[in-house]
């Protein structure tokens, strides 16, 4: 089972603001469980999704990925929390992803997104939601549900290209001055919490 939202180390016990990046589906086996969990970029140093999320944030605040990760390790937390649009894990090597995605009942996807946004203590800390790479037909229901939840929770959101290293310039270009200001503010609060 894969948790519905994952955070780094002691993030969920802290009170600094957060940025929620939402990918496609976990690169794993099994289903997504409606619970909170952990991720650690040291467990999988080559994870493109995690690394690109950190790279984009680092560039936005004027540092590099290594230094940002080191700061997160030192503070035992990170403003970057992660989730996925679909409630089913699909390993990277699987070839028929579109078929597997299309087979997920729409009501299951809607329930998954509703569950994701039901963690009120977490969502109260979120300042920006970044749905990443959800422009395909298979993600239409999830994308609309995310937009609706962000509207209902008065959360700014910005759809960005999939968090993959070659997309980094496009992701940076997609972020407006408003979103850049939010990211910088979130990380300023994080640094102040050290």
Do β-strands 2-8 and 80-84 pair in parallel, antiparallel, or remain unpaired? antiparallel
61-79 pLDDT, tens digit per residue, is: 999 999 999 999 999 999 9
Task: Say whether pTM exceeds 0.85.
Answer: yes
Q: What is the Cα–Cα distance from 143 to 132, expressed in whole angstroms?
A: 10
Average confidence score pLDDT of the chain? 96
pLDDT at 161 over 90: yes
Q: How many domains are there within the chain? A: 1
Q: What is the Cα–Cα distance from 77 to 68, expressed in whole angstroms?
A: 11
89-144 pLDDT, tens digit per residue, is: 998 888 889 999 999 999 999 999 999 999 999 999 999 999 999 999 999 999 99
Q: Which domain holds residue 142?
A: 2-192
Tokens 């203590």 belong to residue: 121
Q: What is the Cα–Cα distance from 160 to 87, expressed in whole angstroms?
A: 20
Do β-strands 18-23 and 32-39 pair in parallel, antiparallel, or remain unpaired? unpaired
Give the model's pLDDT for residue 31: 86
pLDDT band at 29 (very low <50, low <70, confident <90, very high): confident
Biggest distance spanned by C-alpha atoms of the chain = 46
């Amino acid at each position: 089972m894969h948790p519905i939202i994952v955070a780094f180390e002691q993030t969920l016990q802290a009170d600094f603001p957060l940025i929620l990046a939402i990918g496609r589906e976990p690169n794993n086996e099994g289903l997504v469980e409606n619970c909170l969990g952990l991720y650690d970029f040291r467990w999988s140093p080559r994870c493109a999704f995690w690394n690109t999320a950190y790279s984009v944030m680092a560039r936005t605040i004027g540092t590099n990925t290594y230094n940002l990760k080191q700061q997160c390790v030192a503070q035992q937390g990170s403003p970057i929390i992660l989730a996925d649009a679909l409630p089913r894990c699909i390993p990277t090597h699987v070839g028929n992803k579109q078929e597997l995605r299309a087979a997920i009942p729409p009501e299951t996807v809607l329930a998954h997104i509703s569950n994701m946004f039901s963690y009120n203590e977490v969502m109260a800390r979120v300042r920006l939601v970044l749905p990443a790479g959800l422009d395909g037909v298979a993600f239409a229901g999830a994308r609309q549900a995310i937009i609706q939840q962000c509207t209902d929770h008065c959360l700014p959101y910005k759809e960005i290209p999939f968090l993959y290293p070659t997309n980094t310039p496009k992701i940076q270009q997609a972020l407006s001055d408003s979103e850049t200001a939010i990211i910088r503010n979130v990380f300023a609060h994080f640094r102040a919490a050290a």
